[in-house]
Amino acid sequence: MTTTSSPDGSGTATRARWPWWARTLAWLGGLAASLALIGLLCLALSLALVYPKIPSIETLSDYRPKMPLRIYTADNVLIGEFGEERRSVLRIQDFPPQMKQALLAAEDDRFYDHPGIDLSGIARAALANLMAGGARQGASTITQQVARNFFLTNERQYTRKVYEILLAFKIESTLSKDQILELYMNQIYLGQRSFGFAQAAQAYFGKNIKDITVAEAAMLAGIPKAPSAYNPVANFRRASARQRYVLDRMRSLGYINDQQHEEALAQKLDIHASVSTYAVHGEYVAEMARQAAYDLWKDDAYVRGINVYTTIDSKDQAAAYAAVRAGVLDYDRRHGYRGPEAFVDLPERITDEFIDDVIEKHPDADDLLTAVVLDASPKRVRVARPGLEPIDIGEAGLKFAAASLSDKAQPNRKLRRGAVVRIMKTANGWEIVQQPEIESAFIAVNPMDGSIKSLVGGFDFWRNKFNHVTQAWRQPGSGFKPFIYSAALERGFSPATVINDAPLVFDAGQTGSQPWEPKNYDGTYEGPMSMRRALTKSKNLVSIRILKTIGTRYAQDFITRFGFDADKHPPYLTMALGAGSVTPWQMAQGYSVFANGGFRTRPFVVAKMTDANGRVLAEAKPLLAGDESNRVLDERNAFLIDSMLRDVVRYGTAASAMKLKRTDLAGKTGTTNDSVDAWFNGYQPTLVGITWIGYDQPKSLGDRETGGGAALPIWINFMGKALAGVPNIDRPVPAGIVSANGEFYYAERQPGEAIGTLSDDEGKDPNAVKSELF
C-alpha cells in the first residue's frame, strides 16, 4: 500500500497497489476463465455438429452377431464349429457370478456407478500420456469398449476417443447396465478364434461357462486387455501373471475372501492346447456336415448360426474313435520302434518357450504327446514337456523303444539327448510310443434306415484330413465274396452245393495278359466242399469256380444292387477275390442289405439342419428297410447269406469275435494280395460295422497281417461297447425256406438224394450246368 498527493495539490489520497505476483495471478485467472468459456462454447458447438453424426445404436438393441456353423451329434453333443467368429450368445443372467466379478475387477470395477466414462480413470491416463509424450494408455470403460468394438477402430487417436466418449453416453442413455455388460461379454474377442466368454470357456478349458472356477474366470477376464499377449495357450506365463493381478483385484474389491484367493492361486489349470476342444472326436463327421451345409448356403453357412444335427451317437462315436486308435497302435507296436521323430540341439537353459517351439513343429496328436529327451539310458529316459517338471520314464515304459537305447542302435534311430519323441500316459505310467504310419477307417450304420452311428475317417484328422471312409478306394479282398455268393444263390446254388477246392491255372490266352495261378491264402487245398464251408474258410479257388460258372458279367451287374459301381469291378475272374475297388462307405451299404433282409438303404450322416432359432431348414428322408419298393434282394437270399456269415464268426476266419459271447453276429474278413489291405465287415441285425486298415501309399502290412488279425480287433472293440445291453436277436426263417439234412434251401430247390457237385468244366452257360448241380 502507498500514499500520493492529490492531483489539485489540495491534500493527499491513498489507493491499494497489489504486488506483481498477485496482479499476474489475477490476469491468468481472467485468461483461464475466458479460455474455459471459449472451450465450453467450442465443445457445445462440436457436440451440436458431431453428436447427430454419431452412428445409430439400433444394432445394439437388435443384436445379431455372426454366428458360426455348429455340428452336433444326434444326442446334442457339439462336435464341430466353422466360421470366422466362434461364439455362444448368452443372456447376462446365464453368466456365473464369478465370471462377471472377475471381468469387472479386471476391466471396470466402477461400471455400475459411472455414466459411461470414468473421470478418475481418464485423469490417470491423461497424466500417463502427458509424461510419455503421446497417447500410450487408455482409460476405456466397458461401455466405451462396447462402443469401440461395434462402431470404431482400435487406433489410439484423440479424435477417435472423442467419438468413443460420445457413443458411450449415447449407449448409456439407451441401454441398461446389464444390457451393456451382456453385449460386451458376448462380443469381445478372446483369442483362439473365440468371441465372448462362453465360447472362450469351451476353447480354453473345454467347459460350459457355468462350470468354470474362480481361477478359470480370472484367467479369462485377463485376456481382453491383449488377447495375443495374454492367451494362455500361446503364452501361459504372461496369462498367469495377468490372472494373479485379476485375483488380487477380486480380493481387494471383496468379491472373494483370502481363502478363495489362495485356493484360486493354487489351482492348476488344464488349458486345452489341442486343436480339438470337443468332448467327442467327430472331426471327419463335422467336415462332412460342413460340406453339406456349404453346398446349400455357401459362405452364408458360416455366419447365419445354422445348426447341423448328424445321425452320430456320441457314445458310439467315442467307442469307434478309441477302437481305431487302439487297433492302429497295437499294429504299430507289433512292427517295432522306428526311432525318434527328429533331433534338436538343446540350449544350456531349457525354457518352456524352447519346448513350445519344438511342439509347434511336431504337434501333439491327442494322447500322443511330443517331448524332448533330456537324458537317456537303457533303464531311464528323462523328457521335457512345457509347464511340467521333467518326466522320468522307467524300464516298463521303455520296452517298445528298447532297441533304440542300445549302443548298437543306428544314429538316426538312437534315443539320446535332444531326441524328439512321443510319450503317452497309460494305466502303468508314462511310456514311449510313436506316431503310426498306418491308417485306418471305421463306419457303423443302422441297416434299417442307413443312419450312420459312428464314423472315423483316419487315425488323426489333424495329421491327415483325407477321409478313408468315403474317399479311399481300396481292394476289398475276400470281404467281397458274400456278394458273389449271393449272385450264385440267384443262379441256382445253395449253401450245400459242393465245389472243388483244387488248384487252377489260367494261361495268357485265357486271361488276355499274363498267366494266372490263384492260390488260397494258406496255400492248402481241401478238395470238394460245400459252399457254406468254403465261405467259412474263405477258399479262393472255390470262389473263382463259382464266379466262372455264374458268369462275370452277370456278377458285375448283380453287385450294383448293393450300391457298388460296376465300372470299379471289371468282369474278370479276379472279381471273386475282391480285386475291384470299394470304399468302406460302400461296404457298409452293401452289408446292410444282408443285415436287414434284402432292402437297399442309403447311408447318410446329416439328419437335419436348423437356423439359430431352431426352425428346420432341411431334413433327411431316408430309404427304409421294410418298404418293399426298396427291396433289391430276395429275403431268402439275404437269410442264407446271413446264415453263412454267422458261421464265419462261429467257426471261420472271424471266430475271435465269439469273445463277445453273442449268437447274432455275422461278418467276413478280407485280406488282399500281399496283405496290402485288411478288412472286417460285420454286423448284428441292428448295427453294421466296417473296419479297414492299410497304408495311404499301398504296401504290404506284413506277411502275417490279415483282416482277422489287424482289422477284426477294432470291430470287436467297438461292438463290445456299442452292443452292451442289447439283447441277442434271433433271425426268423422266412417263408419259402426249408431245412433238410441240417442245411437251408429254397423250397423250390430242395435237394435230391445226393448234393450236386460242380466239376472243373465250368465254362458252360449257368443254365446249362444247372442239372449237374442238383
- Residues marked as catalytic: 107, 478
| CA pair distance 368, 364, nearest whole angstrom | 6
Q: Tell me which long-range contacts 628-633 makes (C-beta under 8 A, separation of at least 24).
A: 630/599, 630/600, 630/601, 631/598, 631/599, 631/600, 632/561, 632/562, 632/593, 632/598, 632/599, 632/600, 633/486, 633/561, 633/593, 633/598, 633/599
Q: Which long-range contacts (CB under 8 A, 24 or more apart) does 156-164 make?
A: 162/46, 162/50, 163/50, 163/54, 164/140
Q: List residues bridging with 700 in a β-sheet.
A: none
Please answer whether residues 105 and 222 qualify as being in contact, where contact means their C-beta atoms are separated by less than 8 angstroms.
no
- Pairwise CA distance, residues 679 & 669, whole Å: 6
Cβ pair 494, 757 in contact under 8 A: no
Residue 562's identity, in one-letter code, is F
Question: What is the DSSP code (8-state) at residue 679?
Answer: E
Residue 725 phi/psi, 5-degree rounding, is 85, -5
Cβ proximity of 673 and 699 under 8 Å: no
β partners of residue 761:
none
Does residue 443 sit in helix, strand or coil? Answer: strand
Q: Say how many C-beta atoms besides its own lie within 10 A of residue 728's C-beta.
A: 12
Radius of gyration of the chain (CA): 38
Query: In whole angstroms, what separates CA 450 from the centre of its chain?
Result: 22
State the Cα–Cα distance between residues 185 and 198, nearest whole angstrom: 8
CA separation for the pair 404, 383 (Å, rounded): 15
DSSP assignment string, 361-416? HS--BTTBEEEEEEEEETTEEEEE-TTSPPEEE-GGGGSTTGGGGSTTS-GGG---
- Give dist(CA 245, CA 238) in Å, integer: 11
Chain centroid offset of residue 18 CA: 85
Count of beta carbons in the 10 Å neighbourhood of residue 754: 8
609, β-bridge pairs: 308, 618
d(CA 162, CA 100): 28
Measured distance between the N- and C-terminal CA atoms of the chain, rounded to whole angstroms:
146
Alpha carbon 648 to chain centroid, angstroms: 35
Q: Where are the alpha helices (DSSP H) in 133-196?
A: 142-151, 158-174, 177-187
Buried b / exposed e over 216-254, threshold 16 CB at 10 Å, is bbbbbbbbbeebeebbbeebbebbbebbbbbbebbbeee
> Of all helices (H) and strands (E), which one includes residue 475?
none
For 262-328, what is the HEC assignment?
A: HHHHHCCCCCCCCCCCCCCCCHHHHHHHHHHHHHHHHHHHHCECCEEEECCCHHHHHHHHHHHHHHH
